[in-house]
A and B are shown apart, each in its own frame.
Chain A
């Protein structure tokens, strides 16, 4: 039998892993198992252009690199369990695949609210099917929309809904400001004002206690006793890692799958993890393993993990350079963009305006011990370019802990 690498998860992380294995010199078989029926597609437009009806599916599909043309794709197939000691995975069609190397790329699924009330009319946005279903409902005449969760996806969906002309869009969150967890109060306040000016309503500082309605949702019951009338509810209250299939292998699955700085799982040189599901230490910052749900991470982790795995399977030394990606994300809402480089969440105690003004275009710096660890721009293109100018500085910065 020829040597095989199995990639579990057929989205961006799975695709990039397959491509990077070829780039790292792996010539053996690669089989990607993905439970969605589609070839890998780009998720960020799901809460933006796809909801707005501006992006047909063909425009979302990734174009795989030519070097990965011989990768085998088993779509619409779920990995249900793994026996790492025997180097096998079992699929939901009953078959078992043996592997020499395994890549964990199963990503996340939306967390759901567990409170009483009907389920119909309640949506999440993670997959293409989710986005298409939500779009159909948002375009119902006079829909009243309640978004639960004022994080990135919730705020993007609210902005898109207002752009579609939805009559009433209300965002509910127990925290006092939108996106303040990752971005801090200064930008949280600026974002709240911008959203309100463009027609989004907020009910902050209160949780959701339940849903009203017989067969489908007619209202959202708030923790403070109030009720918001609702025809459509979007739950964007965080995500849960798809790791159940790895159970029983003595792994740390407490929040995604724990890896070492080489992205190896469970100390096994033949198992690596990539993308949203990987909880890895970033040598740029410290030794604390974290999951990072940013679009840049599947590509960064795939490159490093593929080198780790291909070198091991070839009996070669692994690259000694520690994994130290510079995280980057963006978020498009209404007519403005957030653009971030670095790790703002590590510098929330010392937030300074670097340029501009929170009422207009603004560039914000996040510091730890006086050291810049992240920048976020809010506004138009000029602000985003301003953030990009700090990228080189962030890259040159010494590691926070040597």
Chain B
């Protein structure tokens, strides 16, 4: 599974961090960091993160 975040859309709401803390996190300045090739076992988490992104900025490929 590949995760792509459109950083032009992302407005650092952080909802993805609550939904999938193994994949998404915030740095000290409040900006998003993420793992782009997470384990498939995390698919549910990542789908939830994509659902709760207010900007629809998270895409799952594969």
Contact = CB atoms under 8 A, between A and B. Distances in A.
Interface of A: 16, 19, 23, 42, 44, 59-63, 65, 295-296, 299, 328, 330, 332, 339, 381-382, 384-385, 388, 391
Contact of B56 (A63, A65, A385): A63
Nearest to A387: B14
Given A381-B29, A388-B14, A388-B18, 18 more contacts: A16-B51, A42-B54, A42-B56, A44-B54, A59-B9, A61-B56, A63-B59, A296-B52, A299-B51, A330-B13, A330-B54, A332-B11, A339-B13, A381-B12, A384-B12, A384-B30, A385-B14, A391-B18
A60 to B, nearest CB: 8
Contacts of A44: 54
Nearest to A385: B30
5 contacts: A63-B50, A330-B13, A381-B12, A384-B14, A385-B26
B61 to A, nearest CB: 10
A21 to B, nearest CB: 14
B45 interface: no
B30 A382 contact: yes
Contacts of A332: 11
A62 B55 CA distance: 10
A332 B54 CA distance: 12
Interface in B8-42: 9, 11-15, 17-18, 26, 29-30
A295 B14 CA distance: 15
Contacts of B59: 63
A119 B29 CA distance: 48
The main secondary structure of chain A at its interface with chain B is helix
B52 A62 contact: no
Contacts of A42: 54, 56
Nearest to B13: A330
Nearest to B30: A381
Q: How big is the B interface, by class?
A: 10 to 19
A61 B56 CA distance: 8
A388 B16 CA distance: 12
A328 B30 CA distance: 18
Contacts of B54: 42, 44, 295, 330
Contacts of B14: 384-385, 388
Nearest to A66: B60
A152 to B, nearest CB: 14
Q: Which 4 A-B pairs have the closest CB atoms?
A: A381-B30, A385-B30, A299-B51, A388-B14
Contacts of B9: 59
Contact of A65 (B13, B26, B47): B47
A381 B10 CA distance: 13
Contacts of B29: 381
Contacts of A385: 14, 26, 30
Contacts of B18: 388, 391
A62 B56 contact: yes
A42 B30 CA distance: 24
Contacts of A59: 9, 56
Contacts of A388: 14, 17-18
B56 A299 contact: no
A126 to B, nearest CB: 18
Contacts of B44: 23
A378 to B, nearest CB: 15
Nearest to A391: B18
A301 B30 CA distance: 29
A382 B30 CA distance: 7
Contacts of B30: 381-382, 384-385
Contacts of B47: 65
A88 B59 CA distance: 37
A128 B27 CA distance: 35
B7 to A, nearest CB: 14
Contacts of A23: 44
A61 B29 CA distance: 30
B11 to A, nearest CB: 8
